[in-house]
Amino acid sequence: MLYYSFLIDSVCILYYKSAFNLTLPENNKLYPYCNLREQVKAEKMNRLSGRVAVITGGASGIGKAAVLKFAQEGARVVIWDLQTEKGKETLAEAEKISPGHDFMEVNTTQLAAVEAAAAAVVEKYGQIDILINNAGITRDATLAKMTAEQWQQVIDVNLTGVFNCAKAITPFMVEKGYGRIINTSSVVGLYGNFGQTNYVATKAGVIGMTKTWAREFGKKGILVNAVAPGFIATDMVAAMPEKVIEMMKSKTPLNRLGTPEDIANIYCFLASDEASYISGTCISVDGALSL
Protein backbone atom coordinates (compact mmCIF):
# COMPACT_ATOMS: atom_id res chain seq x y z
CA MET A 1 0.00 0.00 0.00
CA LEU A 2 2.86 2.34 0.87
CA TYR A 3 4.46 1.56 -2.50
CA TYR A 4 1.31 2.56 -4.41
CA SER A 5 1.01 5.76 -2.41
CA PHE A 6 4.61 6.59 -3.25
CA LEU A 7 4.01 5.86 -6.93
CA ILE A 8 0.88 8.03 -7.14
CA ASP A 9 2.61 10.92 -5.39
CA SER A 10 5.62 10.59 -7.67
CA VAL A 11 3.41 10.81 -10.76
CA CYS A 12 1.60 13.83 -9.28
CA ILE A 13 4.91 15.53 -8.55
CA LEU A 14 6.10 15.02 -12.11
CA TYR A 15 2.80 16.42 -13.40
CA TYR A 16 2.94 19.51 -11.18
CA LYS A 17 6.58 20.04 -12.11
CA SER A 18 5.67 20.05 -15.79
CA ALA A 19 2.34 21.93 -15.54
CA PHE A 20 3.63 24.77 -13.38
CA ASN A 21 7.21 24.84 -14.73
CA LEU A 22 8.62 24.25 -11.25
CA THR A 23 12.20 23.27 -10.44
CA LEU A 24 12.97 20.62 -7.84
CA PRO A 25 15.84 21.42 -5.44
CA GLU A 26 18.85 19.13 -5.90
CA ASN A 27 18.21 17.43 -2.57
CA ASN A 28 14.46 17.04 -3.17
CA LYS A 29 13.78 13.45 -4.11
CA LEU A 30 10.49 12.15 -5.44
CA TYR A 31 9.06 11.49 -2.01
CA PRO A 32 5.38 11.76 -1.05
CA TYR A 33 5.79 14.61 1.38
CA CYS A 34 8.43 16.74 -0.32
CA ASN A 35 8.02 20.50 -0.45
CA LEU A 36 6.70 20.57 -4.01
CA ARG A 37 3.06 20.85 -2.95
CA GLU A 38 3.92 23.98 -0.99
CA GLN A 39 5.77 25.34 -4.00
CA VAL A 40 2.73 24.70 -6.21
CA LYS A 41 0.50 26.46 -3.69
CA ALA A 42 2.86 29.44 -3.57
CA GLU A 43 2.97 29.65 -7.37
CA LYS A 44 -0.85 29.62 -7.60
CA MET A 45 -1.08 32.41 -5.04
CA ASN A 46 1.27 34.64 -7.04
CA ARG A 47 -0.34 34.56 -10.46
CA LEU A 48 -0.20 38.36 -10.73
CA SER A 49 3.24 38.90 -9.23
CA GLY A 50 4.96 41.93 -10.74
CA ARG A 51 1.74 43.28 -12.25
CA VAL A 52 0.15 46.66 -11.57
CA ALA A 53 -3.65 46.73 -11.63
CA VAL A 54 -6.08 49.64 -11.69
CA ILE A 55 -9.50 48.67 -10.33
CA THR A 56 -12.31 51.20 -10.71
CA GLY A 57 -15.09 51.10 -8.15
CA GLY A 58 -12.67 49.22 -5.91
CA ALA A 59 -13.82 50.70 -2.62
CA SER A 60 -16.71 48.31 -2.01
CA GLY A 61 -18.67 45.33 -3.27
CA ILE A 62 -17.25 43.33 -6.15
CA GLY A 63 -14.50 45.89 -6.63
CA LYS A 64 -13.30 45.50 -3.06
CA ALA A 65 -13.26 41.72 -3.40
CA ALA A 66 -11.16 42.13 -6.54
CA VAL A 67 -8.71 44.45 -4.78
CA LEU A 68 -8.14 41.93 -1.99
CA LYS A 69 -7.91 38.98 -4.41
CA PHE A 70 -5.37 40.74 -6.59
CA ALA A 71 -3.32 41.70 -3.53
CA GLN A 72 -3.32 38.03 -2.48
CA GLU A 73 -2.11 37.07 -5.93
CA GLY A 74 0.88 39.40 -5.80
CA ALA A 75 -0.31 42.42 -7.80
CA ARG A 76 0.14 46.01 -6.73
CA VAL A 77 -3.35 47.46 -6.84
CA VAL A 78 -4.49 51.04 -7.37
CA ILE A 79 -8.08 51.71 -6.34
CA TRP A 80 -9.97 54.35 -8.31
CA ASP A 81 -13.17 55.42 -6.62
CA LEU A 82 -15.11 58.45 -5.38
CA GLN A 83 -15.90 56.81 -2.03
CA THR A 84 -12.83 58.13 -0.25
CA GLU A 85 -13.48 56.75 3.23
CA LYS A 86 -14.40 53.27 2.01
CA GLY A 87 -11.55 53.37 -0.48
CA LYS A 88 -9.01 54.04 2.25
CA GLU A 89 -10.50 51.28 4.39
CA THR A 90 -10.14 48.82 1.50
CA LEU A 91 -6.60 50.04 0.92
CA ALA A 92 -5.75 49.37 4.57
CA GLU A 93 -7.09 45.82 4.23
CA ALA A 94 -5.05 45.26 1.08
CA GLU A 95 -1.91 46.57 2.80
CA LYS A 96 -2.33 43.92 5.50
CA ILE A 97 -2.16 41.27 2.78
CA SER A 98 0.84 42.76 0.99
CA PRO A 99 2.42 46.22 0.75
CA GLY A 100 2.57 48.66 -2.15
CA HIS A 101 -1.02 49.52 -3.03
CA ASP A 102 -2.70 52.90 -3.43
CA PHE A 103 -6.04 54.70 -3.45
CA MET A 104 -6.89 57.61 -5.74
CA GLU A 105 -10.09 59.63 -5.79
CA VAL A 106 -10.93 59.56 -9.49
CA ASN A 107 -14.10 60.56 -11.33
CA THR A 108 -14.04 58.20 -14.28
CA THR A 109 -16.66 60.27 -16.14
CA GLN A 110 -14.05 63.01 -16.68
CA LEU A 111 -11.46 62.07 -19.30
CA ALA A 112 -8.92 64.69 -18.20
CA ALA A 113 -9.08 63.44 -14.61
CA VAL A 114 -8.65 59.84 -15.75
CA GLU A 115 -5.68 60.71 -17.97
CA ALA A 116 -4.01 62.55 -15.08
CA ALA A 117 -4.61 59.62 -12.73
CA ALA A 118 -3.24 57.11 -15.25
CA ALA A 119 -0.10 59.20 -15.72
CA ALA A 120 0.33 59.39 -11.93
CA VAL A 121 0.07 55.60 -11.61
CA VAL A 122 2.70 55.09 -14.32
CA GLU A 123 4.96 57.69 -12.73
CA LYS A 124 4.77 55.86 -9.39
CA TYR A 125 4.82 52.24 -10.53
CA GLY A 126 6.33 52.45 -14.01
CA GLN A 127 3.50 50.58 -15.71
CA ILE A 128 -0.18 49.62 -15.80
CA ASP A 129 -0.67 45.99 -16.75
CA ILE A 130 -4.30 45.38 -15.79
CA LEU A 131 -7.44 47.51 -15.97
CA ILE A 132 -10.61 46.30 -14.27
CA ASN A 133 -13.50 48.51 -15.40
CA ASN A 134 -15.73 47.65 -12.47
CA ALA A 135 -17.34 50.98 -11.49
CA GLY A 136 -21.06 51.22 -12.14
CA ILE A 137 -24.33 52.69 -10.89
CA THR A 138 -28.07 52.14 -11.33
CA ARG A 139 -30.93 54.63 -11.66
CA ASP A 140 -33.84 52.29 -12.31
CA ALA A 141 -37.18 53.31 -13.79
CA THR A 142 -39.44 52.22 -16.60
CA LEU A 143 -39.01 54.05 -19.88
CA ALA A 144 -42.21 56.02 -19.24
CA LYS A 145 -40.90 57.29 -15.90
CA MET A 146 -37.17 57.53 -16.57
CA THR A 147 -35.83 61.08 -16.70
CA ALA A 148 -33.18 62.32 -19.09
CA GLU A 149 -30.98 62.92 -16.06
CA GLN A 150 -31.32 59.30 -14.88
CA TRP A 151 -30.47 58.11 -18.37
CA GLN A 152 -27.39 60.31 -18.64
CA GLN A 153 -26.04 59.56 -15.16
CA VAL A 154 -25.86 55.85 -15.90
CA ILE A 155 -24.46 56.37 -19.39
CA ASP A 156 -21.75 58.65 -18.01
CA VAL A 157 -20.49 56.21 -15.38
CA ASN A 158 -21.16 52.79 -16.89
CA LEU A 159 -20.29 53.46 -20.52
CA THR A 160 -18.36 56.72 -20.90
CA GLY A 161 -16.36 55.88 -17.77
CA VAL A 162 -15.27 52.58 -19.31
CA PHE A 163 -14.31 54.37 -22.52
CA ASN A 164 -12.33 57.02 -20.62
CA CYS A 165 -10.33 54.50 -18.60
CA ALA A 166 -9.45 52.40 -21.62
CA LYS A 167 -8.64 55.51 -23.66
CA ALA A 168 -6.24 56.77 -20.99
CA ILE A 169 -4.56 53.48 -20.09
CA THR A 170 -4.22 51.56 -23.37
CA PRO A 171 -1.37 53.78 -24.67
CA PHE A 172 0.78 52.61 -21.75
CA MET A 173 -0.15 48.99 -22.46
CA VAL A 174 0.61 49.36 -26.15
CA GLU A 175 4.01 50.85 -25.35
CA LYS A 176 4.82 47.84 -23.17
CA GLY A 177 3.24 45.31 -25.55
CA TYR A 178 1.20 43.79 -22.75
CA GLY A 179 -2.16 44.40 -21.15
CA ARG A 180 -5.29 42.88 -19.69
CA ILE A 181 -8.61 44.75 -19.73
CA ILE A 182 -11.63 43.24 -17.98
CA ASN A 183 -14.92 45.10 -18.36
CA THR A 184 -17.86 44.45 -16.05
CA SER A 185 -21.09 43.83 -17.93
CA SER A 186 -24.16 42.02 -16.56
CA VAL A 187 -26.53 39.25 -17.51
CA VAL A 188 -29.11 41.97 -18.16
CA GLY A 189 -26.83 43.29 -20.88
CA LEU A 190 -27.36 39.96 -22.62
CA TYR A 191 -31.08 39.49 -22.02
CA GLY A 192 -32.58 42.84 -20.98
CA ASN A 193 -34.46 43.63 -17.78
CA PHE A 194 -37.67 45.42 -16.88
CA GLY A 195 -37.15 48.97 -15.64
CA GLN A 196 -33.46 49.20 -16.57
CA THR A 197 -33.32 50.75 -20.02
CA ASN A 198 -30.29 52.87 -19.12
CA TYR A 199 -28.40 50.15 -17.23
CA VAL A 200 -29.07 47.49 -19.87
CA ALA A 201 -27.96 49.83 -22.65
CA THR A 202 -24.63 50.43 -20.92
CA LYS A 203 -23.98 46.78 -20.12
CA ALA A 204 -24.79 45.69 -23.67
CA GLY A 205 -22.56 48.51 -24.91
CA VAL A 206 -19.70 47.28 -22.72
CA ILE A 207 -19.87 43.89 -24.42
CA GLY A 208 -19.71 45.58 -27.82
CA MET A 209 -16.70 47.66 -26.80
CA THR A 210 -15.01 44.56 -25.41
CA LYS A 211 -15.27 42.72 -28.71
CA THR A 212 -14.15 45.77 -30.68
CA TRP A 213 -11.10 46.41 -28.48
CA ALA A 214 -10.15 42.73 -28.60
CA ARG A 215 -9.90 43.10 -32.38
CA GLU A 216 -8.07 46.42 -32.24
CA PHE A 217 -5.49 45.53 -29.59
CA GLY A 218 -4.93 41.79 -30.00
CA LYS A 219 -1.79 42.18 -32.11
CA LYS A 220 -0.44 44.62 -29.56
CA GLY A 221 -0.43 42.04 -26.76
CA ILE A 222 -3.58 43.31 -25.04
CA LEU A 223 -6.40 40.94 -24.16
CA VAL A 224 -9.89 42.36 -23.57
CA ASN A 225 -12.74 40.42 -21.99
CA ALA A 226 -16.02 41.08 -20.20
CA VAL A 227 -17.66 39.45 -17.20
CA ALA A 228 -21.44 39.32 -16.84
CA PRO A 229 -22.43 38.77 -13.19
CA GLY A 230 -25.86 37.50 -12.21
CA PHE A 231 -27.43 38.18 -8.81
CA ILE A 232 -24.53 38.98 -6.48
CA ALA A 233 -24.77 39.43 -2.70
CA THR A 234 -23.36 42.94 -2.46
CA ASP A 235 -24.28 45.46 0.25
CA MET A 236 -26.75 47.02 -2.17
CA VAL A 237 -28.56 43.71 -2.63
CA ALA A 238 -28.42 42.94 1.09
CA ALA A 239 -30.44 46.13 1.71
CA MET A 240 -33.30 44.85 -0.43
CA PRO A 241 -36.42 43.27 1.11
CA GLU A 242 -35.99 39.61 2.02
CA LYS A 243 -38.84 38.71 -0.35
CA VAL A 244 -36.90 40.17 -3.30
CA ILE A 245 -33.72 38.35 -2.30
CA GLU A 246 -35.58 35.04 -2.08
CA MET A 247 -37.07 35.69 -5.52
CA MET A 248 -33.54 36.20 -6.89
CA LYS A 249 -32.42 32.91 -5.38
CA SER A 250 -35.43 31.03 -6.72
CA LYS A 251 -34.71 32.21 -10.26
CA THR A 252 -31.13 30.93 -10.06
CA PRO A 253 -30.71 27.17 -10.67
CA LEU A 254 -27.96 27.02 -8.03
CA ASN A 255 -30.53 28.46 -5.60
CA ARG A 256 -28.19 31.03 -4.08
CA LEU A 257 -26.79 34.45 -4.76
CA GLY A 258 -23.26 34.75 -6.02
CA THR A 259 -20.61 36.35 -3.85
CA PRO A 260 -18.33 39.25 -4.76
CA GLU A 261 -15.48 36.75 -4.48
CA ASP A 262 -17.05 34.62 -7.23
CA ILE A 263 -16.63 37.55 -9.61
CA ALA A 264 -13.21 38.55 -8.28
CA ASN A 265 -11.96 35.03 -8.98
CA ILE A 266 -12.94 35.34 -12.65
CA TYR A 267 -11.33 38.78 -12.87
CA CYS A 268 -8.14 37.26 -11.51
CA PHE A 269 -8.20 34.34 -13.91
CA LEU A 270 -8.71 36.60 -16.93
CA ALA A 271 -5.91 38.90 -15.73
CA SER A 272 -3.48 36.01 -15.31
CA ASP A 273 -1.31 34.19 -17.83
CA GLU A 274 -3.64 31.20 -17.47
CA ALA A 275 -6.07 33.08 -19.77
CA SER A 276 -3.46 34.04 -22.36
CA TYR A 277 -5.56 32.77 -25.29
CA ILE A 278 -8.89 34.23 -24.20
CA SER A 279 -9.94 37.57 -25.66
CA GLY A 280 -13.10 39.18 -26.96
CA THR A 281 -15.44 37.02 -24.90
CA CYS A 282 -18.05 37.68 -22.22
CA ILE A 283 -18.15 35.18 -19.37
CA SER A 284 -21.44 34.84 -17.51
CA VAL A 285 -21.01 34.19 -13.79
CA ASP A 286 -24.63 33.72 -12.77
CA GLY A 287 -25.29 30.28 -11.30
CA ALA A 288 -26.92 29.19 -14.58
CA LEU A 289 -29.45 32.03 -14.40
CA SER A 290 -29.05 32.75 -18.10
CA LEU A 291 -29.90 29.23 -19.26
Instruction: Please give the span between the terminal C-alpha atoms of the chain, in angstroms, as a whole number.
Output: 46
- What backbone torsions phi and psi does residue 55 show, to the nearest 5 degrees? -120, 115
CB 81 within 8 A of CB 276: no
Q: Select from 284, 69, 44 the least CA-distant residue to 184.
A: 284
Residue 17 sits at the vertex; the CA angle it makes with 13 and 18, to the nearest 5 degrees, is 120
Beta-carbon contacts of residue 122 (< 8 Å; ≥ 6 apart): 128, 172
For residue 224, list its beta bridge partners: 181
Q: Select from 222, 137, 150, 144 the least CA-distant residue to 184.
A: 137
d(CA 157, CA 164): 10
Specify whether 199 is catalytic: yes
Q: Select from 176, 187, 68, 201 the least CA-distant residue to 132.
A: 68
Annotated active-site residue in 16, 31, 125, 199: 199
Residues catalogued as catalytic:
199
